[in-house]
Amino acid sequence: MNALHTPTETVRIDLADRSYDILIGENLLGEAGTYGQLPKAAAALIVTNTTVSPLYEAALRQALSVHYKSIHSIQLPDGEVYKDWLTLNLVFDSLLSRACDRKTVLFALGGGVVGDMTGFAAASFMRGVPFVQVPTTLLAQVDSSVGGKTAINHPMGKNMIGAFYQPQRVVCDLNVLKTLPARELSAGLAEIIKYGPISDMPFFDWIEANIDALKACQTQAMAHAVKRSCEIKAYVVGQDEREAGLRAILNFGHTFGHAIEAGLGYGEWLHGEAVACGMVMAANLSAELGLIDAAFVKRLTALIERAGLPIKGPVLNAQDNAGQYLALMLHDKKSVAGDIQFVLIEGPGKARVSAAPEAMVRAVIDRCCA
């Protein structure tokens, strides 16, 4: 082991026969050994996008050539706006035109959009083929690549069409984060920050102390942040794989955030930016309900702002902005019998999911929007 490199860490997702490892370290993507002990197959399909392909596809292809006789690839258009049926069908077209079989292994090389779409394609093609997540954004490494949620968007709601389908492995190569634009890096920090208020306040304290190192993508700080985030998510997913209860707390900020994404048009704000603003709104709602004090809301908001993320929501409708948010949130997957469900902080490090009075929600939206 090169002493200049951080050691490779492994976080286990414990789901009986669907268990798998998350590998976290440097220089993993292009190493053949990273992909050993995966299901045997004659062919692999790399699903990536037009931005990531020139950076990393050749290295992944070289590493996989040790394990697979044929390696195919497809480059999807880049962006949340393409997370739809039309683009998903390009993956199926690629698989079918190359006569791929049910043992073909799919490799998702990209951010959350590529990972979600590859996973959904793997869950659907021939009723299920193996796939591996190779996330190249911070947000994907700490959240979307872990836990088996796969989906595409619908114009009326984000991630509304999909399946729970676990990967065979997740490969988090810390080196790829160094090529991320600052905006993408900040978007990933939003999903790291969320783990503190819902589960682990010592981790939140650590993020506050190390936010500048994280923004600078310093390897040791990033290694700890990615590992701890994955550990928390691994525990939650292990307890509640299909989001029947506990797993819903991972959606802190997402009810408001998904409304922002749908209301502006997918891709206008990055997912992490919308979640960051959604966390500010959810924290304010928690305070209105008397669950946390104003000091914690201020502390969380300040950290989100230091991470380079928005703390004021956009105006989606000049006549009735709160009403527009509420209409969009009714399409959220957590809504039950017409009641919008929010992830609320009921004390630093602890979360719950419940509804809230509409008048209170409206007041929070009005206060938290620019």
Active-site residue, from 72, 83, 149, 194: 149
Asked about 331 being catalytic, the answer comes back as no
Six-digit token string for 3: 């002493």
pLDDT mean over 263-267: 93
Active-site residue, from 72, 224, 233, 333: 233
- Any idea where the domains of the chain sit in the sequence? 9-179, 182-368
Asked about 149 being catalytic, the answer comes back as yes
pTM, to two decimals: 0.94
How do residues 84-126 score in pLDDT, each as one tens digit? 999 999 999 999 999 999 999 999 999 999 999 999 999 999 9
The C-alpha atoms of residue 42 and residue 69 are separated, in whole angstroms, by 5
Task: From 209, 363, 233, 231, select the one nearest 288 (Cα to Cα).
Answer: 363
| pLDDT score at 337 | 66
What's the longest Cα–Cα distance across the chain? 61
pLDDT value at 4 more than 60: no
Active-site residue, from 169, 224, 247, 334: 247
Active-site residue, from 31, 80, 191, 241: 191
- Give DSSP secondary structure letters for 17-36: GG-EEEEEESS-TT-GGGGT
Containing 132, the helix (H) or strand (E) segment is strand 131-135
Active-site residue, from 49, 153, 159, 251: 251
Asked about 154 being catalytic, the answer comes back as no
Fold designation for 9-179: Rossmann fold (3.40.50)
Active-site residue, from 61, 194, 254, 334: 254
How do residues 186-208 score in pLDDT, each as one tens digit? 999 999 999 999 999 999 999 99
Asked about 191 being catalytic, the answer comes back as yes
Asked about 67 being catalytic, the answer comes back as no
Strands 342-345 and 43-49, sheet pairing: unpaired
| pLDDT score at 277 | 98
Active-site residue, from 241, 243, 261, 288: 243
pLDDT value at 332 more than 80: no
| pLDDT score at 177 | 97
| pLDDT score at 335 | 72
Answer yes or no: are the C-beta atoms of 223 and 289 closer than 8 Å.
no
| pLDDT score at 338 | 77
| pLDDT score at 342 | 96
Please, which residues have CB within 8 angstroms of residue 38's CB and are 6 or more apart in sequence?
A: 67, 105, 130, 132, 168, 169
| pLDDT score at 1 | 39
Could you say which architecture CATH assigns to the domain 182-368? Up-down Bundle (1.20)
How do residues 223-251 score in pLDDT, each as one tens digit? 999 999 999 999 999 999 988 889 999 99
Asked about 127 being catalytic, the answer comes back as yes
Asked about 247 being catalytic, the answer comes back as yes
Task: From 204, 223, 189, select the one nearest 307 (Cα to Cα).
Answer: 189
pLDDT mean over 42-69: 98
